[in-house]
Every structure is written in C-alpha cells, then in structure tokens.
C-alpha cells in the first residue's frame, strides 16, 4: 500500500510486535521452566551471584511424577474432561434446537424470548453462585459431577443459541422450502437439510463451549468438596498448597498439564475457535 522506510517499519512494527509476543508468551515459558527445575534451584536467593533464572542446568521430571503419583491429579483431569464434554453436548443440543426455532419459526413471544436468552448470556456466574449453591444442596447434587454438568449450560446455552441462531440466518430459507415441497416434514427438513449445513457453526460453538467449561472455576469451587472429585482448576488451587506452603514446581507442572488439553483442542481448530469468538459478540 504505502512504501515505508526501513527504520520506520522496525519502530512501528517489528519492535512493538516482538514486545507483544514476549509479553504474551513469557508466563507460559516461566511455567515450563519452573515445572522442570529441581527444587534446589527454585528456591535460591534473588541476589545470588550465579543465579540463572531463565534456564535450568539440571532439568527434571520429578514434579510431574510427583503430581501424577502422589496427588489425585489424574482424577481431576478425567473429571474436567467428562464434565466439559457432557455439558458441551447438552448445551449444543439445547442451543441447536432453540437457535433454529428463534431464527426460523414464527411464534408469539419470539422477540421477548430472544432478548431474554441474550440477557441470560450476560448474567455473570458470580451473581448467582450463592443461591445456586443452596439449590444444588436442595437437589442433593452437591459434590457430584452433575452439579456442574447441569449448571454449566446456564452460560453455555445462551452462547450456543446466540451463535447458532446467527449461523442459521445465513442459510437461505429456500433450501428448506425445496425440501418441504419434496415432501419433507418441518422437523425432517431441519434435521436432514439444515443441521448438516450448519456443521461448521456447530463445531465453532462446541469448541468454544468446551474451553469455557474446562476453564470454569467458581461453580466448581463452591459445589465440589472431595479432593478426588474436583476439576483441574479447583484441584490445583486447593489441593496442591499444603498449609501455607506452595510447591511451585508441582503447581506449575499442574498448571501446564491442565492447560495442554485446551491448548491442543484450540490448536487443531484455531479457525473455528476464532469464528466462535468473534461470532459470540456479533450474533
């Protein structure tokens, strides 16, 4: 577009971008280096002369081994995975049906319902966790995965509905009309014609929902209490600190392992995730 002088490109582009990259990624590097560093190196005075904090001379997997063998971390991984998958499936199903109805069907109160689903989308979990804890107790769901599987959809369904509704509106109505002329029922046209076309949208919503429920914290913190039933975020926070002592090597190993599954899912589906992210605000 414009021809820029070389130094200008450095000052206005390369240097700021490099700083952004370093700033963004440094905490992750620090997580990794702490996780593979032996304890003797970890706790060394910050003014020690030969302190080399940015790398380690004796990398070790000790922290990872301790984490896997001496704590219930493997349980947490499984719990988080199970809860995230089931609540994502529930929310996708509800969101798919509701999104279709709001985008395509004519019925009284459609506008009001659409708006109220949008409003629930904006209700933060921190507003409701105290009464919800009471309700969970009443239903005797406390300390079971079902407490989370049933409450995570409260923030996932509005999001999925919103995203898929936007997606359905981009699919031409004529497709359904043709199918119905050919004899398909309304329901059949929806499940056999429209849903298959919406697969990219469903994938975006699903991936986004999965990462949201993997990362959820406050409900899991309040509703779960047994160590082996916790999810990764809650387990790392509450079980890896004994008394007042922080085992930083183990903590960082846990943080790293707990981040890898979402990071992997994300890296395989970057484009879908970004679509979900930008779609989540545009609708």
Partner 1 sequence: MEKPIAGGSGSAAPLEVVLPRPGAQRAQPAAITRWLENEKLLAAVLLAPAVILLGLFIAYPFVMGVWLSLSNTSVGNVGEFVGVRNFVKAWHDSIFQTAFRNTFFYTFWATVFKLGLGMWLALLLNRNFRGKRIVRASMLLPFIVPTVLSTFAWRWMFDPTFSVLNWLLYRTGAITTKLPFLSDGVYGMWCAIVVNTWRGMPFFAITLLAGLQTINPDLHEAASLDGANGWQRFWRVTWPLLKPVTLVVVVFSVIQTFSDFQLIYVLTNGGPANSTHLLATYAYQVGVATGLLGEGAAISLFMLPVLFIVVWLQLRYLRRLEGA
Return the residues of window 24-53 that contact partner 1 according to CB under 8 A.
Answer: 24-25, 27-28, 30-31, 34, 42-47, 51, 53
Select the residue interacting with partner 1 from 84, 86, 98, 224 (CB under 8 A): 98
List Cβ neighbours of 252 (8 Å cut-off, separation of 6 or more).
30, 31, 32, 34, 35, 63
Select the residue interacting with partner 1 from 76, 232, 247, 272 (CB under 8 A): 232
| Residue ranges in 181-220 that form contacts with partner 1 under rule CB under 8 A | 181-188, 211, 214-215, 217-218
- What is the C-alpha to C-alpha distance for residues 257 and 177, in angstroms, rounded to an integer? 49
Residue (60 or 154) nearer to partner 1, CB: 154
100 binds partner 1 (CB under 8 A): yes
Report, in Å, the least distance between residue 152 CB and partner 1: 9
Using alpha carbons, list the distances in angstroms from residue 125 to 44, 120, 152, 156.
Answer: 40, 10, 9, 11
Residue (199 or 260) nearer to partner 1, CB: 260
Q: Could you give the angle at which helices 199-215 and 270-282 cross, rounded to 10 degrees? A: 90
Select the residue interacting with partner 1 from 73, 114, 164, 167 (CB under 8 A): 114
Of 8-16, 60-68, 69-77, 196-204: span binding partner 1 (CB under 8 A): 8-16
Of 58-66, 69-77, 197-205, 255-263: span binding partner 1 (CB under 8 A): 255-263
- What is the C-alpha to C-alpha distance for residues 88 and 174, in angstroms, rounded to an integer? 31
Select the residue interacting with partner 1 from 224, 236, 247, 272 (CB under 8 A): 236
Select the residue interacting with partner 1 from 92, 148, 165, 205 (CB under 8 A): 165
Residue 122 buriedness (CB in 10 A; 0-12 / 13-18 / 19+): exposed
Strand runs labelled E in the chain: 241-242, 245-246
| Residue ranges in 59-88 that form contacts with partner 1 under rule CB under 8 A | none
Select the residue interacting with partner 1 from 38, 82, 89, 169 (CB under 8 A): 169
Residue (53 or 227) nearer to partner 1, CB: 53
Whether 129 and 63 have beta carbons less than 8 Å apart is answered as no
Report, in Å, the least distance between residue 210 CB and partner 1: 11
Cβ atoms within 10 A of the Cβ of 65, count?
Answer: 12
- What is the C-alpha to C-alpha distance for residues 172 and 197, in angstroms, rounded to an integer? 11
């Amino acid at each position: 577009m414009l021809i820029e002088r070389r130094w200008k490109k450095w000052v206005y582009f390369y240097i700021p971008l490099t700083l952004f990259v370093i700033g963004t990624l440094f905490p992750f590097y620090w997580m990794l280096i702490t996780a593979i560093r032996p304890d003797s190196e970890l706790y060394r005075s910050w003014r020690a002369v030969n302190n080399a904090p940015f790398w380690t001379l004796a990398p070790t997997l000790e922290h990872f081994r301790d984490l896997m063998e001496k704590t219930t971390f493997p349980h947490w991984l499984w719990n988080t995975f199970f809860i995230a998958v089931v609540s994502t499936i529930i929310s996708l199903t509800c969101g798919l049906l509701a999104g279709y109805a709001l985008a395509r069907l004519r019925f009284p109160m459609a506008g009001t319902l659409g708006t109220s689903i949008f409003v629930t989308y904006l209700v933060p979990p921190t507003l409701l966790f105290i009464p919800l804890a009471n309700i969970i107790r009443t239903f005797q769901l406390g300390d079971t995965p079902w407490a989370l599987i049933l409450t995570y959809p409260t923030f996932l369904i509005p999001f999925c509905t919103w995203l898929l509704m936007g997606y359905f509106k981009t699919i031409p109505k004529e497709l359904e009309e043709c199918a119905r002329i050919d004899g398909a029922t309304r329901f059949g046209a929806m499940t056999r014609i429209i849903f298959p076309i919406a697969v990219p949208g469903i994938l975006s919503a699903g991936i986004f929902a999965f990462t949201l429920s993997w990362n959820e914290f406050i409900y899991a913190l309040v509703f779960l209490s047994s160590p082996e039933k916790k999810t990764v975020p809650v387990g790392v926070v509450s079980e890896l600190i004994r008394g007042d002592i922080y085992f930083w090597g183990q903590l960082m190993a846990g943080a790293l392992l707990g981040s890898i599954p979402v990071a992997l899912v994300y890296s395989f589906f970057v484009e879908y995730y970004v679509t979900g992210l930008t779609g989540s605000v545009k609708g």
